[in-house]
Structure 1
Amino acid sequence: MSFERDSLAAAIAAHGPVVRVLVAASAGSAPRDPGTAMLVWEDGQSGTIGGGALEHKAVRAARDMLVAGRRTAQRRLPLGPALRQCCGGAVTLVWERFDDVSLPDTLPHARPLGPAGDMPAPVARKLAAMRPGTAPALLDGWLIEAAMPEARPLWVWGAGHVGRAVVSVMAPLQGRVITWIDLAPDCFPAPFPEGVTAIPAAAPAALMPRAPQQADHLILTRDHDLDLTLCHAALLHGFASCGLIGSATKWARFRSRLAALGHSNALISRIACPIGDTSLGRDPQAIAVGVAAALLKGGNETMTRDRAV
């Protein structure tokens, strides 16, 4: 995980000064990995660093910083001795107070946690070597953080019960840019999930060429003919993975019809159908949980299930 400037800027715009609490380092068993962060303001917070007592202590310290006007703090906390937690490891937390003036302009970003001064040469070298998604580094009294890795695109076709469930599960997760397509504006729910792009389109398949070829696709419409058209368009365009809502019977018919449209068995087999984990049941939320788990566990590869042909 890396520095999320946009989320921090939005929190500052909405709430004023914000303290960002970062897991800068960990040793042994710890609730969250280095790079995990949460934001705390006077009467609220977002995100989590986990650990129950650890987070409670971190939030109190953040609010104390807001009252006192302190800029930074750093502390290593052994989870067992200090907080009576069973993890047994230790975490190093960094608290930083940000406002609209102190937001970094560029990433990766390095700043001193103590008095300002010239950047030491080792810090400059580490900064130059930082790649998106790299864990943060504490070096010579400086904190160095990378930019976020490029988000993976997810295109969801259909805003019915399953589409809504899938988007509600996936939208809060980091590392995804979600585009949601259906036939008309009133197909989408209100309020609309934050950070999701909705595109009403009378002919959804005409949008397929706009999708990045590294996108994951979930085809979840109410119309089997539209589903087939979208599968055909996806196979012509290319994708990282593609999942289709449906039963084994529906997929057998689609395989035959897609073959008649000129697609090879090997190519057709790149579409996963049914999607999710069928052992969880057919409830829309259960399907959404299974689909999200597949995408999170294996990235693009889990949804793209190559089959013997």
Structure 2
Amino acid sequence: MSWISALAELQQSGTPCVLVTIIEERGSTPRNAGSKMVVSAERIYQTIGGGHLEYKAMQIAREMLESRTQDSRLERFSLGASLGQCCGGATVLLFEPMGQPQAHIAVFGAGHVGRALIPILASLPCKVRWIDSRESEFPAQIADNVEKVVSEDVVDEVEAMPSGSYYIVMTHNHQLDLELTAAILKREDFAYYGLIGSQTKRVKFEHRLRDRGFSADVMQRMRCPLGLAEVKGKLPVEIAVSIAGEVIATYNSTFGEHKNSKSGKGESIAKLMPTSRRSQG
């Protein structure tokens, strides 16, 4: 795959990467100026010559991805014994971060809070799937990075999300909320799960989930009530801001971790957050 095709593919999937370009060459070097390599957290595309130079470039690029920097960077390398290469020349590499890390978020429910929350999430570096069985509940205009999903079988949409996704459940039906909760907790690979409702609703759900065989450790990862307690108010937009704040806090805490881990990182994140008083729904 060419470097430009790789960039397009990564942009389409919302995967951040670093474009590495040789911008200066002196003496003998493995590749000429203008040669490029694309580095993501999982793969590299094309080459700037291989060897230890390429390894160091890949290492720097992934450190930039880990730190989420958006600043370009220049590095000069002497291709001698210290770098483990015998070319004897020198090269200057330009590192350019491309794209923003994107969270994948599924929002179930197009009620008042959902309609207030979606515009906030759409302004963040994320991809949103907004799911409801009621076509009439969706507004006429929806942001480009929000996918509207009208489905009679909304529970099936849980499996359509990639590993490490964020789930927010606020439907009009408590039984549907319970079925969605069971499907999400069963996956165990979510980065965040928030359920709108009161502490009483949580207790009832936990009782029913225990009857289905869910452990206390898994249920602890569910945020219900959801949202940041510091953000007060009961207006839909106030609740939406509180939920978005909690999602952002979780996103910043887990960036760079392996989202498909089942080690219970979501539980430790939840412990860092104060208990919410969001009890609507």
Query: What is the TM-score with the length of structure 1 in the denominator?
Result: 0.56
Matches within 5 A, 1:124-135: 128-129=58-59, 130-131=61-62, 132=65, 133-134=68-69, 135=71
Deviations 1:170-212 (A, max 9, x none): 11112x1211111033321121122111111101112212122
The answer (yes or no) to whether the contact 1:108–1:127 under 8 Å persists in 2 is no
The one of the two structures with greater contact order (alpha-carbon pairs below 8 A, sep at least 6) is 2
Which one of the candidate residues 226, 243, 246 is aligned to 1:294?
A: 246
The answer (yes or no) to whether the contact 1:215–1:240 under 8 Å persists in 2 is yes
Pairing 1:154–2:105 present: yes
Deviations 1:235-288 (A, max 9, x none): 112222200001111111111111122211221111011111234122211111
The answer (yes or no) to whether the contact 1:181–1:199 under 8 Å persists in 2 is yes
**Cα shift at 1:143:** 5.1
Q: Which residue of 2 aligns with 1:171?
A: 122
**Cα shift at 1:107:** 5.5
Q: Which residue of 1 aligns with 2:181?
A: 231
Matches of 2:22 and 2:241, distance apart in 1: 39
Q: Which residue of 2 aligns with 1:250?
A: 201
**Cα shift at 1:127:** 5.6
Matches within 5 A, 1:9-24: none
Matches of 1:241 and 1:298, distance apart in 2: 7
Matches of 2:119 and 2:168, distance apart in 1: 14
Matches of 1:303 and 1:153, distance apart in 2: 20
The answer (yes or no) to whether the contact 2:185–2:218 under 8 Å persists in 1 is yes
Query: What is the TM-score with the length of structure 2 in the denominator?
Result: 0.61
Unmatched 5+ stretches in structure 1: 10-105, 113-117
Q: Which residue of 2 aligns with 1:119?
A: 33
The answer (yes or no) to whether the contact 2:104–2:128 under 8 Å persists in 1 is yes
Unmatched 5+ stretches in structure 2: 1-6, 12-16, 24-31, 38-47, 77-91, 255-265, 273-281
Amino acid at match of 2:223: A
Q: Which residue of 2 aligns with 1:108?
A: 19
Matches of 1:155 and 1:304, distance apart in 2: 19
Deviations 1:19-47 (A, max 9, x none): xxxxxxxxxxxxxxxxxxxxxxxxxxxxx
Pairing 1:241–2:177 present: no
Matches within 5 A, 1:1-309: 108=19, 110=21, 119=33, 128-129=58-59, 130-131=61-62, 132=65, 133-134=68-69, 135-138=71-74, 144-148=95-99, 150-174=101-125, 176-238=126-188, 239-279=190-230, 280-299=232-251, 301=266, 305=270
**Cα shift at 1:302:** 8.3
Aligned positions, number: 201
Matches of 2:172 and 2:164, distance apart in 1: 25
Secondary structure at 1:108 match in 2 = strand
Q: 1:303 to 1:292 in 2, by over 3 A?
A: farther
Amino acid at match of 2:248: L
Matches of 1:252 and 1:208, distance apart in 2: 23
Amino acid at match of 1:230: L
The answer (yes or no) to whether the contact 1:246–1:273 under 8 Å persists in 2 is yes
Fraction of identical pairs, as percent: 29
Matches of 2:213 and 2:133, distance apart in 1: 27
Deviations 1:86-134 (A, max 9, x none): xxxxxxxxxxxxxxxxxxxx9615486xxxxx6389x965765523444
